[in-house]
């Protein structure tokens, strides 16, 4: 083979390498997915002596970037001593969680599909703590775990945790609050309550709903709720009991005339005596937010203003405090469930969205599709230019085998 042909081959190889170097980076690169990543926590695990049943909440959070297909929550409470456990856990008596089975000391619940948390979301799973005539304080523990399938959890290390379960000798109120994630847009109905209208999109109005309950032994007269919204979300018009701050991202709502009695005394659903109420605050999402997105960092915290005797309900509720008075926080048996977090989940706007959700849940693509097409074009130009220069510098001449023989 002639030297000119070998030189041309090297030039072509260099051109192909150049083409490869130009074309590969120009293609779109989708951010790596790690899959679903569930974690479990617990709140409200201190039960006052004298209370027969308290609702404990397991908080199942998805720290990953995908939604699992199937989620099972398990609770295991080890036996301590020969007799029955002073306080035992079982699934919530009112249901609404999913398919549950087992017994005191160990049970499981397969969550309903609508309760399975998506990326960045948290779901509160209620569990009943039942007391069996305990004569004194008790300190125990229980194990809670969460499993998924058929997917694999990206970080199984946080799928299981041990949590305290205590009986405490405190004859006080015990407030708790649960605030689910904000995922629905709403409109205010004729009775001034928010009505869901579909998935929540940027620029639309949602409602932060939070249920405040008294699971202690004394009533609470007056309740203060402190709310904090994630970045990109602000409060809209609020009740007169609420004062806004931080450019509309925080609110302090003082309900001075709201009395919550212990749950054991709330026996008639038709009277005006309440052990729990659901409150709501309207919020608006920024129209400039890119969706789909999960805006994390929302919190709601509750505290009682004063204890009130429940043996004389003929007396009116506590009147408003004078201007120079400061409310003193009431003693609370278990303040681990006085605060709850929530996220605001925004769906991508799409044509023909019927309120069933938007977007395919995929991660954003880093680089437009046009980059791949442009890269291929640049690569083709590079190959053509390299071949053209090689042809001009050395013309290749075809010869017969006889011409390749050396001269005699």
Asked if residues 147 and 176 have their Cβ atoms less than 8 Å apart, the reply is no
- pLDDT for 272 equals 82
> Token match 């523990």: residue?
141
- Report pTM: 0.74
* Helices 3-26 + 370-393 axis angle, to 10: 170
Q: Tell me the DSSP string of 8-77.
A: HHHHHHHHHHHHHHHHHHHS-EEPPP----EEEEEE--EEETT-SEEEEEEEEEE-SSS--SEEEEEEE-
The number of angstroms, rounded, from the C-alpha of 377 to the middle of its chain's C-alpha atoms is 44
Asked if residues 175 and 143 have their Cβ atoms less than 8 Å apart, the reply is no
Q: Cα–Cα distance between 40 and 255 in angstroms, integer?
A: 32
- pLDDT for 20 equals 42
Please determine, for residue 380, whether its predicted confidence score (pLDDT) is greater than 60.
Answer: no
Q: Report the relative pairing of strands 184-188 and 98-103 from DSSP bridges.
A: unpaired
Q: Determine the average pLDDT of the residues in 139-160.
A: 95
The number of angstroms, rounded, from the C-alpha of 309 to the middle of its chain's C-alpha atoms is 38
The model's pLDDT over 203-234, given as tens digits with 9 standing for 90+, comes to: 999 999 999 999 999 999 999 999 999 999 99
Which residue from 70, 74, 63 is spatially nearest to 37, judged by alpha carbons? Answer: 63
Q: Which two tokens stand for residue 389?
A: 């220069």
Q: Tell me the DSSP string of 114-182.
A: GGS--TT-EEEEEEEEEE----S-EEEEEEEEEEEESSPPS-GGGSEEEEEEEEE---SB-EEEE---B
The model's pLDDT over 291-349, given as tens digits with 9 standing for 90+, comes to: 999 999 999 999 999 887 655 544 544 344 333 344 445 567 777 788 889 899 998 88
Geometric angle at alpha carbon 281, from 180 and 174, rounded to 5°: 60
Strand partners, 177: 212
Asked if residues 116 and 68 have their Cβ atoms less than 8 Å apart, the reply is yes
Q: Cα–Cα distance between 264 and 380 in angstroms, integer?
A: 79
Asked if residues 215 and 176 have their Cβ atoms less than 8 Å apart, the reply is yes
Q: Cα–Cα distance between 399 and 403 in angstroms, integer?
A: 6
- pLDDT for 358 equals 41
């Amino acid at each position: 083979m002639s030297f000119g042909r070998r030189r041309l081959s090297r030039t072509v190889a260099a051109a192909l390498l150049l083409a490869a170097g130009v074309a590969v980076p120009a293609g779109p690169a989708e951010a790596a997915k790690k899959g679903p990543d569930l974690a479990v926590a617990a709140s409200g695990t201190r039960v006052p002596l004298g209370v027969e049943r308290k609702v404990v909440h397991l908080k199942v959070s998805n720290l990953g970037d995908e939604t699992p297909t199937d989620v099972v929550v398990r609770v295991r409470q080890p036996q301590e001593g020969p007799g029955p456990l002073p306080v035992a856990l079982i699934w919530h008596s009112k249901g609404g969680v999913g398919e549950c089975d087992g017994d005191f000391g160990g049970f499981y619940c397969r969550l309903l599909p609508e309760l399975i948390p998506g990326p960045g979301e948290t779901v509160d799973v209620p569990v009943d703590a039942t007391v069996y005539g305990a004569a004194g304080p008790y300190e125990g523990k229980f194990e809670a775990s969460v499993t998924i399938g058929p997917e694999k959890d990206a970080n199984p290390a946080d799928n299981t945790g041990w949590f305290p379960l205590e009986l405490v000798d405190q004859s006080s109120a015990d407030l708790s609050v649960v605030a689910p994630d904000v995922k629905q847009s709403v409109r205010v109905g004729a009775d001034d309550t928010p009505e869901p209208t579909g998935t929540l999109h940027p620029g639309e109005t949602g409602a932060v709903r939070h249920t405040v309950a008294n699971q202690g032994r004394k009533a609470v007269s007056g309740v203060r709720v402190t709310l904090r919204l994630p970045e990109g979300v602000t409060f809209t018009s609020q009740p007169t009991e609420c004062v806004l701050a931080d450019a509309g991202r925080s609110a302090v709502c003082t309900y001075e005339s709201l009395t919550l009695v212990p749950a054991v005394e709330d026996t008639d659903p038709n009277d005006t005596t309440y052990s729990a109420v659901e409150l709501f605050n309207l919020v608006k999402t920024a129209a400039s937010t890119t969706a789909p997105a999960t805006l994390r960092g929302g919190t709601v915290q509750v505290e009682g203003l004063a204890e009130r005797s429940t043996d004389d309900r003929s007396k009116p509720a506590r009147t408003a405090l004078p201007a120079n008075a400061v409310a003193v926080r009431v003693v609370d048996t278990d303040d681990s469930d006085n605060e709850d977090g929530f996220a605001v989940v925004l769906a991508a706007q799409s044509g023909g969205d019927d309120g069933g959700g938007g977007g395919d849940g995929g991660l954003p693509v880093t680089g437009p599709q046009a980059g791949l097409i442009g890269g291929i074009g640049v690569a083709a130009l590079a190959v053509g230019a390299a071949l053209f220069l090689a042809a001009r510098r050395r013309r290749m001449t075809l010869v017969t085998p006889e011409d390749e023989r050396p001269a005699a």
